[in-house]
Amino acid sequence: MALELPACATNPLDPMYIVGSDCGNFPTYERSIKVDVNTVVFVQVSHKVTAPNNPALEYYKRAYERHPGFAMPEHYMEVPTWIPVVSGKLPGYVKALHVVTDVLETTLTLRQYTHEQTVFMTSVMDVNAEDIRKMIHMNQDKKWVLSGYVDPEMFKQYKNVTWINSVAELGDVFDYWDPLGKPNYSLFEGEKTVPRITLSEGCLYDCAFCTISRDVVERTGDDILGQVNALRDLWFDLVYVDDKTFGQANNWPLLKVLGA
């Protein structure tokens, strides 16, 4: 069924347009840290939206095609790792993936989620921040949980938005979560890509321009094995080791064991 915009909304992408308003009387929403939710919709903005004319994307696509094992999905350079990581830590919820290929179309699509226990999650970066702000602005009757690499003050005006700074804060938002949950790639089943596994976080170097932690924290063998097992939903021949500086952690020999 086609969704119609209010008659007074002559430009739905106008920053002053607000869904649910009567053309001037803005609605109000209560902010809540805990979200009453049973369905999580992950929203990922396609690079066809954020970089529609970027020649680098075509370069990488052609380069990957000439190298066996390399694969680039249609809408992102690689599977956005944050989604399987968060998905694996929220095992008790129904989950869905929505890839944004058109901001207005997505805005209309998200309105069809009328169940009040649905929450939308996305990762905000400089390249998609304004697109995400528009979607939130036009869906202020929906619950949003955001994180990312921009100043959260950008979304402070929206009372339907909860901002978290790390995966560890999921427990502040969701009643049921598993802090030890392994990544869940089921939303990307069959995707051709080069997935990541992480042996450690942090870096021992002290580069002035870098904000990465100066402490190297190694992942346990069980954690690494869990990451590897989680990749079974994907199609891949190569794996990208996600460490900031390979070799600083002492657990890299585990790769030989896993490869065997």
What pTM did the predictor assign?
Answer: 0.76
Phi, psi angle pair for 254, to nearest 5°: -60, -25
Cα distances (angstroms) measured from residue 44 to each of 81, 98, 121, 206, 213: 11, 6, 9, 33, 27
Co-location of 252 and 217 in the same domain: yes
Segment 53-61 mean pLDDT:
86
The pLDDT value given to residue 145: 95
What is the domain range of residue 227? 195-260
The domain that holds 115 is classified in CATH as 3.40.50
The residue type of 3 is L
Co-location of 165 and 204 in the same domain: no
Task: Specify if 166 maps to a domain.
Answer: yes
Q: What is the mean pLDDT of the chain?
A: 81
The pLDDT value given to residue 212: 82
pLDDT at 189 over 60: yes
The pLDDT value given to residue 36: 55
Residue 24 vs residue 68, higher pLDDT = 68
Co-location of 42 and 169 in the same domain: yes
Domain count, the chain: 2
Task: Specify if 253 maps to a domain.
Answer: yes
The pLDDT tens digits for 137-157 are 999 989 999 999 899 999 999
Segment 45-57 mean pLDDT:
88
The domain that holds 254 is classified in CATH as 3.30.750.210
The pLDDT value given to residue 147: 94
Co-location of 36 and 164 in the same domain: yes
Co-location of 49 and 159 in the same domain: yes
Coil/strand/helix, residue 81 = coil
Question: Which band of pLDDT confidence, cut at 50, 70 and 90, is reported for residue 108?
Answer: confident
DSSP track, 122-161: EEE-TTTHHHHHHHHHT-TTSEEEEEESS-GGGGTT-TTE
Task: Specify if 1 maps to a domain.
Answer: no
The pLDDT value given to residue 16: 32
